[in-house]
Amino acid sequence: MSDADNLKRLAAAQALEYVRSGMKLGLGTGSTARHLVDLLALRMNDGLEVVGVPTSEATRAQAESLGIPLGTLDEHPVLDLCIDGADEVGPDLTLIKGGGGALLREKIVASAAKQMIVIADASKKVEVLGTFPLPIEVVDFGVASIRRGIDRAARAAGCHGLLTLRRRPDGHVFVTDQGHLILDAAYHSIANPTALAAELSTVPGVVEHGLFINLASRVILAGAGGVTVIDRA
């Protein structure tokens, strides 16, 4: 296991200290969340009892393969806890998420949870969001027009940068679990995430964006010096 994977696993293990039997638990998507699901299965073998609500089909398949009981948000509309990773973590725990392509379901699940814990390696903590391209999920109709709307919205919030249609490694267009496309916005610096989020939400054809504002209640960062836990003020 690489050093980065070791740190991700360390953060995931720390997050499981907040999980109690009987919880309805949102299960995140991505490389760090995969460690969480693996470790959760081990805890359940030792007697922990939870029901998981996955944020993607990939997480669903992993959890099912490990025997973790799963439900849906229709069955469990209020979750006790959601644990997920992040691509960037700002000083006020505003996040950029969606590198794995599951931002819509991730935001729905996080919004349904009483608490959201974010797990990441320490390199994801930044002073200003935006080095990681912001994922923006859009419908597959009129993408050129949607691009223009996003550009106008971003400029109104003081941002500008190249929009790139996400593709899979084989070159085909990436399609989300909900059948949408993703435009990755290279803004480099997002000085006012709240303003940008508000502007993007007005663009017809934008389904959701990867700015998670006031959702993370706790962030667990694992680095060379150990684990740091940051609670939202």
Catalytic residue among 64, 75, 106, 137: 106
Sheet with strand 51-54: strands edge to edge: 51-54, 24-27, 81-84, 116-121, 218-223, 226-231
Instruction: Provide the token pair at 5.
Output: 């994977």
The confidence score (pLDDT) of residue 1 equals 66
Query: Beta strand 162-165 with 181-186: parallel, antiparallel or unpaired?
Result: antiparallel
Angle among Cα 230, 196, 105 to the nearest 5 degrees reads 65
Low-confidence ranges of the chain (pLDDT < 70): 1
Query: At a CB cut-off of 8 Å and minimum separation 6, what does 233 contact?
Result: 92
User: Which residues make beta-bridge pairs with 223?
Assistant: 226
Three-state secondary structure call for residue 152: helix
- Region at 71 (left for phi over 0; alpha for psi -120 to 50; beta for the rest): beta
The confidence score (pLDDT) of residue 4 equals 85
pLDDT tens digits along 150-193 = 999 999 999 999 999 999 999 999 999 999 999 999 999 999 99
Instruction: Provide the token pair at 72.
Output: 């849906």
Q: Which of 187, 76, 83 is nearest to 128 (CA)?
A: 187
Annotated catalytic residue 49:
no
Q: Which of 204, 187, 184 is nearest to 195 (CA)?
A: 187
Query: Beta strand 116-121 with 134-138: parallel, antiparallel or unpaired?
Result: unpaired
The confidence score (pLDDT) of residue 2 equals 78
Q: What is the chain's length? A: 233
Buried b (16+ CB within 10 A) or exposed e, 78-95: ebbbbbbbbbbbbeebbb
